[in-house]
Structure 1
Amino acid sequence: METVVTVLVFFGMLSILVIIHELGHFLTAKKFGIKVEEFGFGLPPRIFGIKKGETIYSLNWLPIGGFVKLYGEDLEPGQKAPNSMINRAFYSRPIWQRVIVLVAGVFMNFVLSVAIVTYLFTQGVMVPSGQVKIEHVVSGSPAEKGGLKEGDIITDIKAENKDISITKSEDLGATVKKYLGKEITVGVLRDGEKTSVLLVPRKDYPPGEGPMGVAIGDHVKKVYSITQAPIEGTKESVNRTVEIVKGISTTLAKFFIQRKPVGDDVAGPLKIGQMTGEIRKLGLLPFLDFMGLISLNLAIINILPFPALDGGRLLFVILEALFGRKVKPAFERYAHLAGMAVLLTLIFLISINDIIKLVIGK
């Protein structure tokens, strides 16, 4: 039953992300008077389609994406739109309109991420507090023997004539690691008053307890107002986008330049589905956060200048703008077909890698 629920949740999430993305293309194309021949969820072959007006709304067998088929976007070699339809063909529209239509899907995925993060900020998010607070002291540990108590705020550590300020958990971990087996003075703030204790961080300690034997926290929950949240949500989405771009760049460099395997750095539909199942158990807010991250990933991947992706189609339009003439339709058509074949092959290989990792429990 858990597996069935996970599959339903995963495809539900994917459906929302795909529909939001394709709506961007669909609505802007309609706005500019471009004929939309088909709005499809999934990739062909088609399961069924319903025609409403001039557009076919279809459900397809490969549930790994979606598409909006624009009239005149993929012309057969030598094919041209009849005079009566020329103004409704994608290729006949001004370059600025085609650019907007092509980036609209990515923009919608970014907007969805901002909307999700904005909502999360109104519900409260964990932010750095600038303090390291002791949340638990292990019985019999150096911390207990030294006199540290729950609720103490660690402010500094003195050792070997050095005074080290502690404002985050990384500061404490790195400092304690330097003085294993040596006596240190831990400065703390207790009930508003400054005090200190002596202790010796142990070299050998039970798993999960650490050298001192304390559980610490350096974040607090902050709730943003309805006016603050959109601003902070946009900032956070931009920051996440930058981090995702860095991650993708690192993975590509690792594969193409360093010639190293990247199997552990990528995830296909199966792995993402598994992650969806694990995160949904944590509650609605973590799941929404995950959904926002996936939306950003889809946006960034789609804007990559690779044939068959939005970024690949955008590249051909940019080349047209730069050189003052269109790329030959036949060449562009075959480039996108080849790009789609490569993408489907990659998805297949990544899925095989996901299956192997699931089988061996990695």
Structure 2
Amino acid sequence: MLITVLVFLVILSILVLIHEAGHYFVAKFFNIKVEEFGFGLPPRAIGKKIGETIYSINWLPIGGFVKLYGEDEAGAGRVLNSKQAKKPSKSDESRAFYSKPVWQRFAVVFAGVFMNFVLAVVIVSVLFSFVGVAVPAKHVLVGEVIKGSPAEKAGIKTGDVIETLNGQVVDDPAELVSLTKKHLGSEITLQVQNQQKERVVKVTPRKTYPKNQGPIGVAITPNFEIKKYPIWEAPFVGTKEVLGQTGLILKGLSNTLVQVFTQGKVPSDVAGPVGIAQLTGTIVAIGPSAVLSFIALLSLNLAIINVLPIPALDGGRLMFIIYEGVTRRKVSPRAESIAHTVGMAFLLGLIALITLHDILRVVSGQPILPQLK
């Protein structure tokens, strides 16, 4: 269990550090002064100043952070009073986060989310290219032959692959069913293969047949094959896959919030830190490919959650920046700081609720994620 927790913390820290690295490098690109880049969360254990930036290792080994000069004055961070909300010195004012144009501040804040999304795409693309992905096989595999059916009488056997029907290539079960029903009562010719040996069989689909048997009396087994994409094509396929997963995650998040606020309970298929940590052990036991897929999924989740327009998250900060860009008016630093504080309280409450839900399931002996049975 301890190893599982450590692996989970390492994965989480890597994902958050990549996220923060996005903020760091884009801030540097726009000549914004970075005061500190921290591994873990305060209190600080050790730190070394290199140039103008302190690089620190902190006692709480969960993620990391980037502290930008002038960030608090832009409304992120602690609640500011009128005395605290003052501009940096004139000499460094041009390098303060708050003094940069809207589009540059937007880029800095969005960079973390972008890095997590890119990481997910890169991992998925690598897996698609070097490991492959299971895709529906372009043939029809007979999983069972019903006793006394036309298929049995014609000599069709379990394990046969039906390749053509009356000379027409059959790629999937739906196509086989459709073509068969067009020839009810009439003899059809099937070309089948089994253990690299091909043969031709003739069978007459029944006009009337028992429910759930079909006209010829075979059950088709879902069949998949591993497809590896060329390295030049994998990024496009990987991006498409990640975008598809993004839609599913957003749908799941909306359903979770609806249930929390309307029914006062956490959905059974939602897991918090405890559940994800427990799941990590299962994933690690499966193998490296599963771990990489898991990291990609967590990275994508981190990107999506962070971009939600909730104060205290990157999405909440982007919301204020967009408002300023549209209206040409800045929200006061104090008002924005208060909004972020309230947002943080909401997020911590939600995390606590989900974590409590996880713990109660563990104590009661229930699986954290029952759908993974």
TM over 0.5: yes
- 2: CA distance between counterparts of 1:290 and 1:25? 24
Q: Tell me whether 274-283 or 193-202 shows the greater mean CA deviation.
A: 193-202
Match of 2:370 in 1: none
- 1: CA distance between counterparts of 2:150 and 2:20? 56
Q: Tell me whether 64-73 or 29-38 shows the greater mean CA deviation.
A: 64-73
Match of 1:51 in 2: 49
Alpha carbons of 1:144 and 1:68: their partners in 2 closer, same or farther (altered >3 Å)? farther
Which AA in structure 1 matches 2:108?
A: V
1:30 to 28, 41, 52: 28
Paired residue secondary structure (2:243): helix
1:314 maps to 2:314: no
Match of 2:167 in 1: none
Does structure 1 conserve the Cα–Cα contact (< 8 Å) formed by 2:110 and 2:314? yes
Give the drift of 1:6.
1.8
- 2: CA distance between counterparts of 1:154 and 1:354? 48
Query: 1:124-163 residue pairs with structure 2 within 5 A?
Result: 124-134=132-142, 149-153=157-161
- 1: CA distance between counterparts of 2:218 and 2:100? 67
Deviations 1:48-101 (A, max 9, x none): 433322222233444444321111111333322111111111110000000000
Q: Tell me whether 315-324 or 190-199 shows the greater mean CA deviation.
A: 190-199
Paired residue secondary structure (2:295): helix
Deviations 1:200-230 (A, max 9, x none): 9899xxxxxxxx9979332211111111112
Alpha carbons of 1:128 and 1:292: their partners in 2 closer, same or farther (altered >3 Å)? same
Give the TM-score taking structure 1 as reference length. Answer: 0.79
% identity of equivalent residues: 50
Paired residue secondary structure (1:44): strand
1:228 maps to 2:236: no
Query: 1:203-222 residue pairs with structure 2 within 5 A?
Result: 216-222=221-227
Paired residue secondary structure (1:67): strand
1:81 to 88, 92, 105: 88
Paired residue secondary structure (1:88): coil
Which AA in structure 1 matches 2:328?
A: G
Which AA in structure 2 matches 1:28?
A: V
Does structure 2 conserve the Cα–Cα contact (< 8 Å) formed by 1:251 and 1:265? no
Which AA in structure 2 matches 1:129?
A: A
Alpha carbons of 1:227 and 1:4: their partners in 2 closer, same or farther (altered >3 Å)? same
Q: Tell me whether 285-294 or 233-242 shows the greater mean CA deviation.
A: 233-242
- 2: CA distance between counterparts of 1:231 and 1:306? 31
Alpha carbons of 1:213 and 1:281: their partners in 2 closer, same or farther (altered >3 Å)? farther
Match of 1:297 in 2: 301
Does structure 1 conserve the Cα–Cα contact (< 8 Å) formed by 2:129 and 2:229? yes
Give the TM-score taking structure 2 as reference length. Answer: 0.77
Alpha carbons of 1:272 and 1:215: their partners in 2 closer, same or farther (altered >3 Å)? farther
Alpha carbons of 1:188 and 1:219: their partners in 2 closer, same or farther (altered >3 Å)? farther
Which AA in structure 2 matches 1:131?
A: H
Structure 2 unpaired stretches of 5+: 74-79, 165-169, 179-186, 368-373
Give the drift of 1:168.
5.7
Match of 1:273 in 2: 277
Alpha carbons of 1:194 and 1:322: their partners in 2 closer, same or farther (altered >3 Å)? farther
Does structure 1 conserve the Cα–Cα contact (< 8 Å) formed by 2:36 and 2:67? yes
Which AA in structure 2 matches 1:89?
A: A
1:39 maps to 2:44: no
1:102 to 97, 105, 109: 109
- 2: CA distance between counterparts of 1:141 and 1:38? 76
Match of 2:192 in 1: 190
Match of 1:254 in 2: 259
Give the drift of 1:34.
0.7
Which AA in structure 2 matches 1:36?
A: V
